[in-house]
Structure 1
Amino acid sequence: MGAYLSQPSTTKTSSDGGNSSMSYGFSAMQGWRVSMEDAHNCIPEFDDETAMFAVYDGHGGEEVALYCSKYLPDTIKEQKTYKDGKLQKALEDAFLAIDSRMTTEEVIKELVQIAGRPTEEPPSEKVADEDDLDTEEAALLHEEATMTIEELLVRYGQNRNAVKHAAAISAAAKKASCSNSEASDDKKEEEKKDELNGEVEEESNGQAKGERAAAGSKLRACRRAGGGGAAAAAAEGSSAAAAAAEGGSGGGSGSSNGKEKAGKAEGDAGPSCSSLASKAPGDTKSRFFEDSEESEEGEEEEGSEEEDGSGEEGDSSEMEEEEDTEEGEEDSEDEDEEEMCLPGMDGKEEPGSDSGTTAVVALIRGKQLIVANAGDSRCVVSERGKAVDMSYDHKPEDEVELARIKNAGGKVTIDGRVNGGLNLSRAIGDHFYKRNKVLPPEEQMISAMPDVKVLTLNEDNDFMVIACDGIWNVLSSQEVVDFISERMKPDQSGKIRPLSSIVQELLDHCLAPDTSGDGTGCDNMTCIIITFRPHPSPDQSQPDDPKKRKLQEEEEAVESGENGKDSKKAKND
């Protein structure tokens, strides 16, 4: 529902205008919202033969709506299809073109200026989020990559016996390498020593780095698991040292294994939406309930092996069970992160990415009315008092919209919001939701592609209404047409009201008395009325007004009578 003021802002911005073939009246009001995010265009002289009217309903900020009102008219004219007279295709091309520009650095800077957002947040006001935690974890991982295996074991394991055991194995490995190298001649001895030392060091470093990377990426799981996670880290470190002691032919495979584990750890450290999308379904299977079963089995095996006196096998089994437990925690954590890493729920917080606008644009050329719409603002034509919808509200739960959202990797929550965010499915901007690189712009979760309808105007078409959903959420299309039609009639004295005053009354009528409801009547409100013929000015009466005709006849009769008396008197004289 959003944040509301304690009292509504009912100050209205209004205007009237037109040309020889049409008239318009406009008004906008902030209402209960803490800011005004709507914008509009009223351009009766768009070019020599065309008029343009539009309403933009912004969300997440006013910047995208204001940017569109400033640049979309020229963007339409720039399209080759517009110059060729293909107005329907020109509107589609223009919507996609201006939407695409909002990803460029130049436009983003302009949007920042329009929005008045600070380029950098003060450090004291910054709140740690998931990105901050990932950065901290990456720094810790880098630090641990430079530590020795003994230091890493001390940090995570606190297992002095494991440290001593690892040190003893390492010393034995060095001694073995020295004795082997003495059997060769001087030249071979140097080459053999270099090769052996390199292999041992490569193996040790490869596995150590791999284990360190895995331990770093499992930092959160270790912290939650307490001592269990620490013991697992110590056991894994001991295993790495033992592998290094094999030396010789084991060096190459150890290095390769280290690289594989390091690569796995890097992937686990911070899964992105794109990487998650490419995973096989089995990769993200939750092992939440499997962990407890494996742990119980591990404890039983450990106990039975200790009774049999096979200590080494028990240690190995314990290490495997601990590793499986950590992998289970890691998999469940990945699943949680995947659930929260849906497209549209993360990304940069910048104008045009976390903000957008609906757009409904009408072009009138001769007798042709062409209306393009993206979002839930609406255009309605009155035909002898009957409402004719010229646009379709784009809502996420609608069949066509829902299919596109799911195909792009998104979902619609039970309250009708895309990934729990937007409650509309088409808009300009909102590039959080437009990051599927394998799909064209018109097939993204939130699409800027408009629906376009064309109507040939005739004498039965009285007027047209373009308004944001602040109006349509309160009144239906027919109710708005009825409201306006009644007030466009001349009053008892034959006077007619300016169109903008009718819009003002409409806004007041739709305004909620308070914010205790479901939000209906609490939104920004913008509305334009356009008549398809000149609308008399407020000081004019309708030419076919019966009262006016009768008054004129009486005045003419009196005047003719007086003129007759005057002429008779002049004749007598």
Structure 2
Amino acid sequence: MGVYLSTPKTDKLSENGENDRLKFGLSSMQGWRATMEDAHSALLDLDSETAFFGVFDGHGGRVVAKFCAKYLHGQVLKSEAYSTGDLGTAVHRAFFRMDEMMQGQRGWRELSALGDKINKFSGMIEGLIWSPRGSDSNNQQDDWASEEGPHSDFAGPTCGSTACVALIRNTQLVVANAGDSRCVISRGGKAYNLSRDHKPELAAERERIMKAGGFIHMGRVNGSLNLSRAIGDVELKQNKFLPPEKQIVTANPDINVVELCDDDDFVVVACDGIWDCMSSQQLVDFIHERINTESSLSAVCERVLDRCLAPSTIAGDGCDNMTMILVQFKKPVDRNKKAEAAGQSASNVDEAKSRVAEE
């Protein structure tokens, strides 16, 4: 079966949450893949005004996806740009920061802890390359690479991860994407892509890859990677004469800033395991048919995963790991209706009390 199981793992990890502005549900499933390499973040309250949702689709190992899920939102929050209200710049910097943080000894230790799977033949944590020098291997300084200077004893992870992130603050939606996970908004029932799938065949991607000394074979970067932007994948970021955004593969995210309006229903952030099986509009239609009848938003996500799961591994599509986050906007009119209903209920109680008093 190669990278596939003989039968799919259909157990799902699901979660729901809400505050006074948003509701979300999410679900992830390993499916036919031999390992689960997706990770996600869902934080309704990154701060008192801002929500953060992200999907990270790993390749060559799970550790970079898990690292991003654990640390990327924290780097957004720490950014000076974030404190001034510039969410786009803050999240843009955080993508590059992931690569920096993984290249020192602290990065090695954290990736080792997240790896949880050691190859019994090589003794290597999945997706990592490490060649310690005796004098440095006992260095216990606990800073990230860019703060202490890079270590020559750790080149970084050979695996990588896509990253697609959505931040929502009041009426502003900021989407950052590197790779082929995708963010889609439903506006009046119509699907609008808020991210672009970074594939090697895109003209701008091909040009960067070739200028950096790479090549494309059978639709894959250097014959191996079927996407052109990702966090990690250090072996494809080795040109010392080029900045990070111009490497063969780059973590450089596209940033899209959208002003939300009353017609906006929900946002979906999902890995390519979903988009391989459904177009953006098909998914939006599927959600609209179920969002008011299912018990929760995570249940809607679970139905999507079931719909996308292939009956066998023959065709290929529907055999990937799948992760999906569904974020629904609570309309001001809905909150007003609740307030009116509460006011009407209080008025009815007062009238009832008055009648009792008169009697």
Q: One-letter code of the match for 1:462?
A: D
Q: One-letter code of the match for 2:165?
A: V
1:78 matched to which residue of 2?
A: 78
Q: One-letter code of the match for 1:533?
A: K
Check the 8 A contact 2:155/2:234 in 1, yes or no.
no
2:312 matched to which residue of 1?
A: 514
Q: One-letter code of the match for 2:211?
A: N
1:528 paired with 2:325, answer yes
Check the 8 A contact 2:64/2:157 in 1, yes or no.
no
Check the 8 A contact 2:103/2:155 in 1, yes or no.
no
- Runs (4 or more) in structure 1 with deviation over 3 Å come to 117-123
1:257 matched to which residue of 2?
A: none
Check the 8 A contact 1:20/1:534 in 2, yes or no.
no
Distance 1:429 1:380 in 2: 25
2:215 matched to which residue of 1?
A: 411
1:473 paired with 2:276, answer yes
Secondary structure at the residue paired with 2:46?
A: strand
1:401 paired with 2:198, answer no
Deviations 1:527-556 (CA, angstroms, capped at 9, x unpaired): 011011179xxxxxx98xxxxxxxxxxxxx
2:114 matched to which residue of 1?
A: 114
1:134 matched to which residue of 2?
A: none
1:372 matched to which residue of 2?
A: 176
Offset at residue 99 of structure 1 (A): 1.4
Deviations 1:10-37 (CA, angstroms, capped at 9, x unpaired): 0000011010011001100000001111
Offset at residue 40 of structure 1 (A): 0.6
Check the 8 A contact 2:262/2:331 in 1, yes or no.
no
Which shifted more, 94-103 or 109-118? 109-118
Check the 8 A contact 2:36/2:321 in 1, yes or no.
yes
Distance 1:46 1:387 in 2: 26
Distance 2:88 2:122 in 1: 47
Tell me which protein shows more strand as a share of its residues: 2
After superposition, residues 172-191 of structure 1 pair within 5 angstroms as none
Distance 2:155 2:269 in 1: 26
After superposition, residues 51-66 of structure 1 pair within 5 angstroms as 51-66=51-66
Distance 2:246 2:2 in 1: 28
Offset at residue 117 of structure 1 (A): 4.5
2:259 matched to which residue of 1?
A: 456
Aligned CA distance change for structure 1 residues 475 and 416 (closer, same or farther; 3 Å): same
Q: One-letter code of the match for 2:164?
A: V
1:164 matched to which residue of 2?
A: none
2:99 matched to which residue of 1?
A: 99
Check the 8 A contact 2:178/2:230 in 1, yes or no.
yes
Is the radius of gyration larger for structure 1 or structure 2? 1
Distance 1:54 1:113 in 2: 21
Secondary structure at the residue paired with 2:310?
A: coil
Tell me which protein shows more helix as a share of its residues: 1
Offset at residue 77 of structure 1 (A): 1.1
Secondary structure at the residue paired with 1:437?
A: coil
- TM-score of the pair, normalised by structure 2: 0.82
Check the 8 A contact 1:467/1:528 in 2, yes or no.
yes
Distance 2:70 2:235 in 1: 23
Deviations 1:263-287 (CA, angstroms, capped at 9, x unpaired): xxxxxxxxxxxxxxxxxxxxxxxxx
Aligned CA distance change for structure 1 residues 22 and 534 (closer, same or farther; 3 Å): farther
Offset at residue 112 of structure 1 (A): 2.2
After superposition, residues 139-538 of structure 1 pair within 5 angstroms as 352-413=156-217, 415-490=218-293, 497-517=295-315, 519-533=316-330
Secondary structure at the residue paired with 2:221?
A: coil
- TM-score of the pair, normalised by structure 1: 0.52
Check the 8 A contact 1:38/1:56 in 2, yes or no.
yes
Aligned CA distance change for structure 1 residues 122 and 70 (closer, same or farther; 3 Å): closer
Distance 1:117 1:462 in 2: 41
1:169 matched to which residue of 2?
A: none
Secondary structure at the residue paired with 1:458?
A: coil
- Report the number of matched residues: 308
Offset at residue 110 of structure 1 (A): 1.8
Q: One-letter code of the match for 1:440?
A: P
Offset at residue 119 of structure 1 (A): 8.2
Offset at residue 448 of structure 1 (A): 0.3
Check the 8 A contact 2:26/2:297 in 1, yes or no.
yes
Gaps of 5+ in 1: 126-347, 491-495, 536-541, 544-570
Distance 2:100 2:2 in 1: 28
Offset at residue 121 of structure 1 (A): 4.0
Distance 1:526 1:428 in 2: 18
Check the 8 A contact 2:189/2:284 in 1, yes or no.
yes
Offset at residue 425 of structure 1 (A): 0.4
Check the 8 A contact 2:310/2:319 in 1, yes or no.
yes
Secondary structure at the residue paired with 1:30?
A: strand
Secondary structure at the residue paired with 2:184?
A: strand
1:557 matched to which residue of 2?
A: none
Check the 8 A contact 1:394/1:426 in 2, yes or no.
yes
1:272 matched to which residue of 2?
A: none
Distance 1:2 1:20 in 2: 47
Distance 1:45 1:527 in 2: 19
Sequence identity, in percent?
49
Distance 2:59 2:278 in 1: 21
Deviations 1:84-138 (CA, angstroms, capped at 9, x unpaired): 1111111111111111221212202321232134488469x9xxxxxxxxxxxxx
Check the 8 A contact 1:102/1:108 in 2, yes or no.
yes
Q: One-letter code of the match for 2:264?
A: N
Check the 8 A contact 1:64/1:351 in 2, yes or no.
no
Distance 2:122 2:231 in 1: 30
2:21 matched to which residue of 1?
A: 21
